[in-house]
Amino acid sequence: MKIGFIFPNKDRRYKTVHLGLGYLAAYARKFHPDVEFQILDTRVATKKETEQFYNTSFDLVGITVYSPVYFEVIKVLNRIKKYQSKVPVVLGGPYVTTIMEEIFKETPADFAVYGEGEITFSDLLFFLKGEKKIEDIQGLMYLTQSGEIKTNSAREQIKELDELPLPAYDLFPMDRYPLHRLVTSRGCPYSCAFCNSTSIWSYNWRKRSAKNMMQEIDHLISNYGKKIIVFGDNSFNIDNKRVEAFCDLLIENNSKILWSASVRATKISQELANKMKKAGCYNVAIGIESANNFVLSEMKKQITIEEIEEGIKMFKNAGIEVLGQFVIGSPQDTLKTVQESMDWAKNSECDFVNFYSVLPFKGTSQWDYISENGKFFTKTIHDFHSIEPRIVFETPEFSYNDRLTAINRAKKEGFYSNQDKKNWWFDVAKESSRKLQNILPDEIGERVYMLLKSVYKLKMVKKHNF
Protein backbone atom coordinates (compact mmCIF):
# COMPACT_ATOMS: atom_id res chain seq x y z
CA MET A 1 0.00 0.00 0.00
CA LYS A 2 1.30 3.44 -0.99
CA ILE A 3 0.19 6.55 0.93
CA GLY A 4 0.71 10.14 -0.18
CA PHE A 5 0.64 13.00 2.33
CA ILE A 6 0.34 16.65 1.31
CA PHE A 7 1.15 19.70 3.43
CA PRO A 8 -0.31 22.66 1.47
CA ASN A 9 1.58 25.79 2.55
CA LYS A 10 3.43 27.13 -0.49
CA ASP A 11 2.83 30.80 0.33
CA ARG A 12 3.32 30.59 4.08
CA ARG A 13 6.17 32.39 5.76
CA TYR A 14 7.84 29.58 7.66
CA LYS A 15 9.53 26.50 6.29
CA THR A 16 8.82 23.86 8.88
CA VAL A 17 8.34 20.11 9.11
CA HIS A 18 4.68 19.19 9.52
CA LEU A 19 4.96 17.24 12.74
CA GLY A 20 1.37 16.00 12.55
CA LEU A 21 2.01 14.13 9.31
CA GLY A 22 5.30 12.90 10.73
CA TYR A 23 3.51 11.43 13.74
CA LEU A 24 0.79 9.83 11.59
CA ALA A 25 3.36 8.08 9.43
CA ALA A 26 5.52 6.98 12.36
CA TYR A 27 2.56 5.54 14.28
CA ALA A 28 1.13 3.78 11.21
CA ARG A 29 4.48 2.15 10.50
CA LYS A 30 4.22 0.30 13.81
CA PHE A 31 1.07 -1.53 12.68
CA HIS A 32 1.47 -1.40 8.91
CA PRO A 33 5.12 -2.15 8.07
CA ASP A 34 4.08 -2.88 4.49
CA VAL A 35 2.92 0.71 3.89
CA GLU A 36 5.11 3.14 1.94
CA PHE A 37 4.77 6.87 2.59
CA GLN A 38 5.61 9.88 0.47
CA ILE A 39 5.20 13.49 1.63
CA LEU A 40 4.77 16.59 -0.53
CA ASP A 41 5.52 19.83 1.35
CA THR A 42 4.46 22.47 -1.17
CA ARG A 43 6.55 25.16 0.55
CA VAL A 44 9.88 23.45 -0.13
CA ALA A 45 9.21 20.94 -2.93
CA THR A 46 10.78 21.54 -6.34
CA LYS A 47 8.68 21.62 -9.49
CA LYS A 48 10.09 18.24 -10.50
CA GLU A 49 9.26 16.70 -7.11
CA THR A 50 5.74 18.11 -7.27
CA GLU A 51 5.11 16.63 -10.72
CA GLN A 52 6.56 13.30 -9.62
CA PHE A 53 4.23 13.22 -6.60
CA TYR A 54 1.09 13.89 -8.63
CA ASN A 55 2.10 11.30 -11.20
CA THR A 56 2.47 8.62 -8.52
CA SER A 57 -0.34 6.10 -8.09
CA PHE A 58 -1.40 6.12 -4.44
CA ASP A 59 -3.83 3.91 -2.56
CA LEU A 60 -4.74 6.82 -0.27
CA VAL A 61 -3.90 10.53 -0.16
CA GLY A 62 -4.00 12.45 3.12
CA ILE A 63 -4.09 16.26 3.21
CA THR A 64 -3.69 18.38 6.31
CA VAL A 65 -6.02 21.38 6.58
CA TYR A 66 -5.34 24.73 8.24
CA SER A 67 -7.70 27.65 7.74
CA PRO A 68 -4.98 29.98 6.30
CA VAL A 69 -4.18 27.50 3.50
CA TYR A 70 -7.72 26.29 2.83
CA PHE A 71 -7.82 27.53 -0.76
CA GLU A 72 -4.59 25.74 -1.56
CA VAL A 73 -6.08 22.61 0.00
CA ILE A 74 -8.97 22.83 -2.48
CA LYS A 75 -6.53 23.21 -5.39
CA VAL A 76 -4.37 20.21 -4.48
CA LEU A 77 -7.43 18.10 -3.69
CA ASN A 78 -9.01 18.89 -7.05
CA ARG A 79 -5.71 18.12 -8.76
CA ILE A 80 -5.58 14.72 -7.09
CA LYS A 81 -9.17 13.97 -8.08
CA LYS A 82 -8.56 15.15 -11.65
CA TYR A 83 -5.65 12.81 -12.34
CA GLN A 84 -6.52 9.99 -9.94
CA SER A 85 -10.29 10.14 -9.65
CA LYS A 86 -10.60 6.81 -7.87
CA VAL A 87 -7.98 7.36 -5.18
CA PRO A 88 -9.64 7.96 -1.77
CA VAL A 89 -8.73 11.20 0.01
CA VAL A 90 -8.68 11.77 3.77
CA LEU A 91 -8.48 15.22 5.35
CA GLY A 92 -7.24 16.03 8.83
CA GLY A 93 -5.79 18.83 10.89
CA PRO A 94 -7.12 21.55 13.20
CA TYR A 95 -9.53 23.11 10.71
CA VAL A 96 -11.32 19.81 10.21
CA THR A 97 -11.86 19.55 13.95
CA THR A 98 -13.07 23.17 14.01
CA ILE A 99 -15.72 22.94 11.28
CA MET A 100 -16.40 19.17 11.38
CA GLU A 101 -18.98 18.02 8.77
CA GLU A 102 -18.77 21.33 6.90
CA ILE A 103 -15.46 20.13 5.45
CA PHE A 104 -17.41 17.96 3.02
CA LYS A 105 -19.45 20.87 1.62
CA GLU A 106 -16.64 22.34 -0.47
CA THR A 107 -14.31 19.37 -0.86
CA PRO A 108 -14.61 16.05 -2.69
CA ALA A 109 -12.96 14.25 0.23
CA ASP A 110 -13.96 10.71 1.12
CA PHE A 111 -12.88 10.69 4.77
CA ALA A 112 -11.99 13.22 7.46
CA VAL A 113 -10.21 12.65 10.77
CA TYR A 114 -11.16 14.85 13.70
CA GLY A 115 -9.42 15.13 17.05
CA GLU A 116 -6.16 13.29 17.66
CA GLY A 117 -5.26 11.48 14.47
CA GLU A 118 -2.64 8.76 15.00
CA ILE A 119 -4.86 5.84 16.00
CA THR A 120 -7.77 6.89 13.79
CA PHE A 121 -5.57 7.08 10.71
CA SER A 122 -4.03 3.68 11.45
CA ASP A 123 -7.53 2.21 11.84
CA LEU A 124 -8.50 3.74 8.49
CA LEU A 125 -5.68 1.79 6.88
CA PHE A 126 -7.03 -1.38 8.50
CA PHE A 127 -10.43 -0.57 6.93
CA LEU A 128 -8.89 -0.07 3.48
CA LYS A 129 -7.20 -3.45 3.88
CA GLY A 130 -10.56 -5.03 4.70
CA GLU A 131 -9.57 -5.72 8.32
CA LYS A 132 -11.88 -3.29 10.16
CA LYS A 133 -15.43 -1.96 9.81
CA ILE A 134 -15.59 1.74 9.03
CA GLU A 135 -18.39 2.40 11.51
CA ASP A 136 -16.12 1.15 14.30
CA ILE A 137 -13.38 3.73 13.68
CA GLN A 138 -13.63 6.44 16.35
CA GLY A 139 -12.71 9.97 15.34
CA LEU A 140 -13.65 9.44 11.69
CA MET A 141 -16.15 11.17 9.40
CA TYR A 142 -16.91 9.77 5.97
CA LEU A 143 -19.24 9.85 3.00
CA THR A 144 -21.43 6.85 2.29
CA GLN A 145 -22.05 5.64 -1.26
CA SER A 146 -25.33 7.55 -1.23
CA GLY A 147 -23.50 10.77 -0.31
CA GLU A 148 -24.60 10.85 3.32
CA ILE A 149 -22.12 12.24 5.89
CA LYS A 150 -21.49 9.90 8.80
CA THR A 151 -19.71 11.00 11.98
CA ASN A 152 -18.44 8.27 14.25
CA SER A 153 -18.01 8.76 17.99
CA ALA A 154 -15.04 10.77 19.25
CA ARG A 155 -11.80 9.04 20.12
CA GLU A 156 -10.32 9.12 23.60
CA GLN A 157 -7.06 11.05 23.68
CA ILE A 158 -3.69 9.35 24.02
CA LYS A 159 -2.72 9.52 27.69
CA GLU A 160 1.01 8.80 27.52
CA LEU A 161 2.67 10.86 24.79
CA ASP A 162 6.02 9.20 25.49
CA GLU A 163 4.59 6.03 23.96
CA LEU A 164 4.32 7.69 20.55
CA PRO A 165 7.24 7.09 18.19
CA LEU A 166 9.25 10.09 17.09
CA PRO A 167 7.93 11.77 13.92
CA ALA A 168 9.04 10.14 10.65
CA TYR A 169 11.62 12.81 9.84
CA ASP A 170 13.14 10.59 7.15
CA LEU A 171 10.16 11.40 4.92
CA PHE A 172 11.01 15.12 4.83
CA PRO A 173 13.82 16.97 3.00
CA MET A 174 15.33 17.99 6.33
CA ASP A 175 18.16 20.01 4.80
CA ARG A 176 15.61 22.55 3.52
CA TYR A 177 14.26 23.50 6.94
CA PRO A 178 16.24 26.21 8.79
CA LEU A 179 14.92 25.23 12.23
CA HIS A 180 14.16 22.12 14.22
CA ARG A 181 10.61 22.39 15.56
CA LEU A 182 9.36 20.18 18.38
CA VAL A 183 6.02 19.88 20.13
CA THR A 184 6.39 18.45 23.62
CA SER A 185 2.83 18.71 24.93
CA ARG A 186 -0.73 18.75 23.68
CA GLY A 187 -3.59 20.92 24.82
CA CYS A 188 -3.77 23.75 27.33
CA PRO A 189 -5.28 23.94 30.83
CA TYR A 190 -6.38 27.54 30.27
CA SER A 191 -9.39 28.87 28.37
CA CYS A 192 -8.48 32.21 26.78
CA ALA A 193 -11.49 33.70 25.00
CA PHE A 194 -9.83 33.92 21.58
CA CYS A 195 -7.97 30.60 21.53
CA ASN A 196 -9.50 27.45 20.04
CA SER A 197 -6.93 25.10 21.57
CA THR A 198 -9.46 23.85 24.08
CA SER A 199 -12.09 23.24 21.40
CA ILE A 200 -9.57 21.06 19.56
CA TRP A 201 -7.73 19.41 22.46
CA SER A 202 -10.11 20.11 25.40
CA TYR A 203 -8.56 21.19 28.70
CA ASN A 204 -6.62 17.96 28.99
CA TRP A 205 -2.99 19.11 28.93
CA ARG A 206 -0.62 16.21 28.33
CA LYS A 207 3.14 16.28 28.35
CA ARG A 208 6.15 14.37 27.16
CA SER A 209 8.89 13.68 29.69
CA ALA A 210 12.18 15.57 29.72
CA LYS A 211 13.99 12.34 28.80
CA ASN A 212 11.73 11.77 25.80
CA MET A 213 12.27 15.37 24.64
CA MET A 214 16.02 14.90 24.91
CA GLN A 215 15.85 11.73 22.82
CA GLU A 216 14.19 13.63 19.99
CA ILE A 217 16.75 16.44 20.12
CA ASP A 218 19.63 13.95 20.05
CA HIS A 219 17.99 12.19 17.10
CA LEU A 220 17.57 15.42 15.17
CA ILE A 221 21.10 16.68 15.75
CA SER A 222 22.71 13.30 15.07
CA ASN A 223 20.85 12.78 11.81
CA TYR A 224 20.13 16.26 10.50
CA GLY A 225 22.65 18.61 12.08
CA LYS A 226 22.54 21.30 14.72
CA LYS A 227 19.93 24.01 14.21
CA ILE A 228 18.02 26.47 16.34
CA ILE A 229 15.27 24.59 18.16
CA VAL A 230 11.80 26.08 18.48
CA PHE A 231 9.24 24.50 20.79
CA GLY A 232 5.74 24.80 19.32
CA ASP A 233 3.80 24.13 22.53
CA ASN A 234 0.97 26.48 23.47
CA SER A 235 2.82 27.12 26.72
CA PHE A 236 6.13 25.38 27.24
CA ASN A 237 6.32 25.96 31.00
CA ILE A 238 2.99 24.67 32.30
CA ASP A 239 4.98 22.19 34.41
CA ASN A 240 8.07 23.90 35.81
CA LYS A 241 9.52 20.67 37.18
CA ARG A 242 9.55 19.24 33.68
CA VAL A 243 11.25 22.36 32.30
CA GLU A 244 13.86 22.20 35.06
CA ALA A 245 14.53 18.50 34.41
CA PHE A 246 14.87 19.21 30.68
CA CYS A 247 17.32 22.06 31.32
CA ASP A 248 19.33 19.82 33.64
CA LEU A 249 19.67 17.23 30.86
CA LEU A 250 20.81 19.85 28.36
CA ILE A 251 23.40 21.16 30.79
CA GLU A 252 24.61 17.70 31.86
CA ASN A 253 24.96 16.60 28.23
CA ASN A 254 26.75 19.83 27.31
CA SER A 255 24.33 20.09 24.39
CA LYS A 256 25.17 23.71 23.51
CA ILE A 257 22.03 24.38 21.50
CA LEU A 258 20.00 27.55 21.16
CA TRP A 259 16.27 27.24 21.71
CA SER A 260 13.12 29.31 21.94
CA ALA A 261 9.65 28.70 23.37
CA SER A 262 6.30 30.31 24.08
CA VAL A 263 5.83 30.63 27.82
CA ARG A 264 3.38 31.83 30.43
CA ALA A 265 4.78 34.74 32.42
CA THR A 266 3.35 33.67 35.77
CA LYS A 267 4.84 30.19 35.58
CA ILE A 268 8.42 31.26 36.14
CA SER A 269 10.93 31.93 38.92
CA GLN A 270 14.25 33.72 38.70
CA GLU A 271 16.04 30.47 39.45
CA LEU A 272 14.30 28.66 36.58
CA ALA A 273 14.82 31.56 34.16
CA ASN A 274 18.54 31.49 34.97
CA LYS A 275 18.67 27.75 34.37
CA MET A 276 16.83 28.10 31.05
CA LYS A 277 19.44 30.61 29.92
CA LYS A 278 22.28 28.33 30.98
CA ALA A 279 20.63 25.49 29.04
CA GLY A 280 20.57 27.51 25.83
CA CYS A 281 17.24 29.37 25.87
CA TYR A 282 17.82 32.68 24.11
CA ASN A 283 14.25 33.82 23.44
CA VAL A 284 10.76 33.45 24.87
CA ALA A 285 7.45 34.60 23.41
CA ILE A 286 4.87 35.79 25.93
CA GLY A 287 1.21 36.20 25.06
CA ILE A 288 0.56 39.49 26.85
CA GLU A 289 -2.53 40.22 24.70
CA SER A 290 -3.44 43.48 26.51
CA ALA A 291 -2.00 45.84 29.11
CA ASN A 292 -5.47 46.53 30.50
CA ASN A 293 -6.44 44.29 33.41
CA PHE A 294 -10.17 44.48 32.71
CA VAL A 295 -9.64 43.30 29.13
CA LEU A 296 -7.32 40.54 30.38
CA SER A 297 -10.06 39.44 32.77
CA GLU A 298 -12.66 39.42 30.00
CA MET A 299 -10.25 37.36 27.89
CA LYS A 300 -10.11 34.83 30.73
CA LYS A 301 -6.32 35.07 30.77
CA GLN A 302 -6.18 34.49 34.55
CA ILE A 303 -3.27 36.92 34.80
CA THR A 304 -2.64 40.63 35.41
CA ILE A 305 -0.32 43.02 33.62
CA GLU A 306 1.63 43.44 36.87
CA GLU A 307 2.28 39.68 37.00
CA ILE A 308 3.33 39.75 33.37
CA GLU A 309 5.79 42.57 34.07
CA GLU A 310 7.29 40.57 36.92
CA GLY A 311 7.74 37.50 34.69
CA ILE A 312 9.32 39.56 31.90
CA LYS A 313 11.76 41.07 34.38
CA MET A 314 12.91 37.61 35.48
CA PHE A 315 13.62 36.54 31.90
CA LYS A 316 15.44 39.79 31.19
CA ASN A 317 17.51 39.43 34.38
CA ALA A 318 18.54 36.00 33.12
CA GLY A 319 19.66 37.45 29.78
CA ILE A 320 16.79 35.97 27.72
CA GLU A 321 15.21 38.20 25.10
CA VAL A 322 11.44 38.62 25.23
CA LEU A 323 8.90 38.87 22.41
CA GLY A 324 5.68 40.43 23.65
CA GLN A 325 2.57 39.46 21.69
CA PHE A 326 -0.68 41.45 21.74
CA VAL A 327 -4.06 41.09 20.06
CA ILE A 328 -6.33 43.84 18.79
CA GLY A 329 -10.06 43.34 19.21
CA SER A 330 -10.77 40.89 22.04
CA PRO A 331 -14.01 41.12 24.07
CA GLN A 332 -14.27 44.56 25.76
CA ASP A 333 -11.23 45.83 23.87
CA THR A 334 -11.56 49.42 22.60
CA LEU A 335 -9.39 51.91 20.74
CA LYS A 336 -8.47 53.34 24.14
CA THR A 337 -7.37 49.99 25.61
CA VAL A 338 -5.34 49.14 22.49
CA GLN A 339 -3.59 52.54 22.77
CA GLU A 340 -2.96 51.73 26.43
CA SER A 341 -1.31 48.48 25.34
CA MET A 342 0.87 50.26 22.78
CA ASP A 343 1.96 52.84 25.34
CA TRP A 344 2.81 50.07 27.76
CA ALA A 345 4.74 48.17 25.08
CA LYS A 346 6.86 51.21 24.21
CA ASN A 347 7.96 51.52 27.84
CA SER A 348 8.27 47.80 28.58
CA GLU A 349 11.34 45.61 28.82
CA CYS A 350 10.26 43.60 25.77
CA ASP A 351 12.92 43.31 23.09
CA PHE A 352 10.35 42.86 20.32
CA VAL A 353 6.64 43.57 20.16
CA ASN A 354 3.99 42.21 17.80
CA PHE A 355 0.35 43.26 17.58
CA TYR A 356 -2.06 41.00 15.66
CA SER A 357 -5.67 41.44 14.60
CA VAL A 358 -7.55 38.84 16.60
CA LEU A 359 -9.48 36.28 14.57
CA PRO A 360 -12.46 34.46 16.11
CA PHE A 361 -12.88 30.70 15.87
CA LYS A 362 -15.86 28.47 16.43
CA GLY A 363 -15.85 26.83 19.82
CA THR A 364 -14.39 29.87 21.60
CA SER A 365 -16.13 32.24 23.98
CA GLN A 366 -15.03 35.11 21.73
CA TRP A 367 -17.06 33.62 18.85
CA ASP A 368 -20.07 33.36 21.14
CA TYR A 369 -19.61 36.95 22.37
CA ILE A 370 -19.53 38.33 18.84
CA SER A 371 -22.54 36.23 17.80
CA GLU A 372 -24.56 37.59 20.72
CA ASN A 373 -23.32 41.18 20.92
CA GLY A 374 -21.43 42.12 17.78
CA LYS A 375 -21.46 41.76 14.02
CA PHE A 376 -19.54 39.36 11.78
CA PHE A 377 -18.61 40.65 8.33
CA THR A 378 -18.17 37.00 7.37
CA LYS A 379 -18.43 33.76 9.30
CA THR A 380 -16.40 31.78 6.81
CA ILE A 381 -13.23 31.24 8.81
CA HIS A 382 -10.94 30.40 5.90
CA ASP A 383 -11.81 33.78 4.33
CA PHE A 384 -10.44 35.63 7.37
CA HIS A 385 -6.82 35.34 6.25
CA SER A 386 -7.35 37.00 2.87
CA ILE A 387 -9.20 40.06 4.19
CA GLU A 388 -7.22 43.30 4.27
CA PRO A 389 -7.31 45.15 6.54
CA ARG A 390 -7.79 42.11 8.75
CA ILE A 391 -11.05 43.13 10.40
CA VAL A 392 -13.68 40.41 10.27
CA PHE A 393 -16.07 41.64 12.96
CA GLU A 394 -16.96 44.59 15.13
CA THR A 395 -18.53 45.03 18.56
CA PRO A 396 -20.53 47.90 20.07
CA GLU A 397 -17.48 49.05 22.04
CA PHE A 398 -15.02 48.67 19.14
CA SER A 399 -16.31 49.70 15.71
CA TYR A 400 -14.77 48.90 12.34
CA ASN A 401 -13.35 52.41 12.02
CA ASP A 402 -11.82 52.29 15.49
CA ARG A 403 -10.26 48.91 14.73
CA LEU A 404 -8.78 50.32 11.51
CA THR A 405 -7.36 53.25 13.48
CA ALA A 406 -5.84 50.85 16.01
CA ILE A 407 -4.20 48.80 13.26
CA ASN A 408 -2.77 51.91 11.59
CA ARG A 409 -1.39 53.17 14.89
CA ALA A 410 0.26 49.82 15.53
CA LYS A 411 1.76 49.91 12.02
CA LYS A 412 3.11 53.41 12.63
CA GLU A 413 4.85 52.20 15.77
CA GLY A 414 6.34 49.25 13.86
CA PHE A 415 4.35 46.86 16.05
CA TYR A 416 1.79 45.43 13.64
CA SER A 417 2.57 41.94 12.44
CA ASN A 418 1.24 40.16 9.39
CA GLN A 419 3.37 37.03 9.23
CA ASP A 420 1.26 35.01 6.81
CA LYS A 421 3.17 35.40 3.58
CA LYS A 422 6.56 34.05 2.62
CA ASN A 423 9.33 36.57 2.17
CA TRP A 424 12.59 36.24 0.31
CA TRP A 425 14.60 38.24 2.87
CA PHE A 426 13.29 36.14 5.71
CA ASP A 427 14.26 32.91 3.93
CA VAL A 428 17.76 34.19 3.16
CA ALA A 429 18.30 35.32 6.75
CA LYS A 430 17.19 31.98 8.20
CA GLU A 431 19.22 29.90 5.75
CA SER A 432 22.37 31.99 6.21
CA SER A 433 22.13 31.82 9.98
CA ARG A 434 21.68 28.05 9.92
CA LYS A 435 24.68 27.48 7.67
CA LEU A 436 26.93 29.74 9.74
CA GLN A 437 25.85 27.99 12.92
CA ASN A 438 26.94 24.63 11.49
CA ILE A 439 30.24 25.90 10.11
CA LEU A 440 31.47 27.93 13.08
CA PRO A 441 32.43 26.60 16.53
CA ASP A 442 29.53 26.45 19.00
CA GLU A 443 30.03 29.65 20.98
CA ILE A 444 31.08 31.73 17.96
CA GLY A 445 28.20 30.34 15.92
CA GLU A 446 25.73 31.27 18.62
CA ARG A 447 27.08 34.83 18.86
CA VAL A 448 26.98 35.30 15.10
CA TYR A 449 23.40 33.98 14.98
CA MET A 450 22.27 36.43 17.66
CA LEU A 451 24.07 39.30 15.92
CA LEU A 452 22.49 38.51 12.54
CA LYS A 453 19.11 38.15 14.21
CA SER A 454 19.41 41.61 15.77
CA VAL A 455 20.52 43.24 12.52
CA TYR A 456 17.69 41.58 10.60
CA LYS A 457 15.12 42.75 13.11
CA LEU A 458 16.38 46.34 13.07
CA LYS A 459 16.83 46.69 9.32
CA MET A 460 14.04 44.56 7.86
CA VAL A 461 11.18 43.93 10.26
CA LYS A 462 10.12 47.54 10.83
CA LYS A 463 10.67 48.37 7.18
CA HIS A 464 8.32 45.67 5.95
CA ASN A 465 6.03 45.46 9.00
CA PHE A 466 6.34 41.72 9.43
Residues in the chain: 466
- Confidence (pLDDT) at 339: 97
110-127 residue pLDDT tens: 999 999 999 999 999 999
Whether 255 contacts 280, CB under 8 Å = yes
Residue 234 within any structural domain of the chain: yes
Distance CA 186, CA 136 (A): 25
Residue 57 sits in the same domain as residue 192: no
Final residue before a domain boundary, out of 151, 168, 196:
151
Give the range of the structural domain holding residue 46, as residue numbers without chain letter.
2-151
Query: What pLDDT does 204 receive?
Result: 79
CATH number for the domain that contains residue 411? 3.20.20.70
Number of CB atoms found within 10 A of residue 349's CB:
13
At 460 the pLDDT is: 43
CA–CA gap between residue 220 and residue 396 (Å, rounded): 50
**Residue range 132-143: average pLDDT?**
96
Partners of 260 in the β-ladder: 230, 283
Q: Note whether residue 439 is domain-resident.
A: no
| 42 and 191, same domain (yes or no) | no
List of E strands, 93-147 = 111-113, 140-143
Residue 90 lies in a domain: yes
Q: What is the mean pLDDT of residues 239-265?
A: 95
Domain end marker among 422, 438, 457: 422
Neighbours of 368 (CB within 10 A): 14
Give pLDDT tens digits for 15-39.
Answer: 999 999 999 999 999 999 999 999 9
Residue type, 80: I
Q: What is the mean pLDDT of residues 8-15?
A: 88
Same domain, 265 and 382: yes
Tally of structural domains, the chain: 2
Asked whether residue 100 is assigned to any structural domain, the reply reads yes
Residues 112 and 199 in one domain: no
How far is residue 314 from each of residues 244, 307, 309, 416, measured CA to CA in Å?
15, 11, 9, 26
Do 289 and 389 share a structural domain? yes
Q: Are residues 49 and 131 in the same domain?
A: yes
pLDDT band at 363 (very low <50, low <70, confident <90, very high): confident
Local confidence band at 386 (pLDDT 50, 70, 90 cut-offs): confident
Q: Is residue 317 located within the same domain as residue 397?
A: yes
Q: Which helix (H) or strand (E) holds 368?
A: helix 365-373
Handedness of CA 337, 342, 347, 350 (dihedral sign): positive
- The CATH number linked to 63 is 3.40.50.2300
Q: From 134, 151, 168, give the residue that closes a domain.
A: 151
- The alpha-carbon radius of gyration of the chain (Å, integer) is 22
pLDDT at 464: 36
Mean pLDDT of 73-95: 91
Report yes or no: 227 and 181 within 8 Å, Cβ to Cβ. Answer: no
Q: How far is CA 422 from CA 129, 353, 365, 428, 447, in A?
A: 40, 20, 31, 11, 26
Q: In terms of domains, do 214 and 106 share one?
A: no
Residues 100 and 239 in one domain: no
Q: Can the peptide bond before residue 8 be classed as cis, meaning omega within 30 degrees of 0?
A: no
Statement: residue 424 has pLDDT above 90: no
For residue range 168-211, list pLDDT tens digits in order.
Answer: 999 999 999 999 999 999 988 887 878 777 667 666 789 999 99
Q: What does the pLDDT look like over 342-361, one tens digit per residue?
A: 999 999 999 999 999 998 88
Across all residues in the chain, what is the average pLDDT? 89
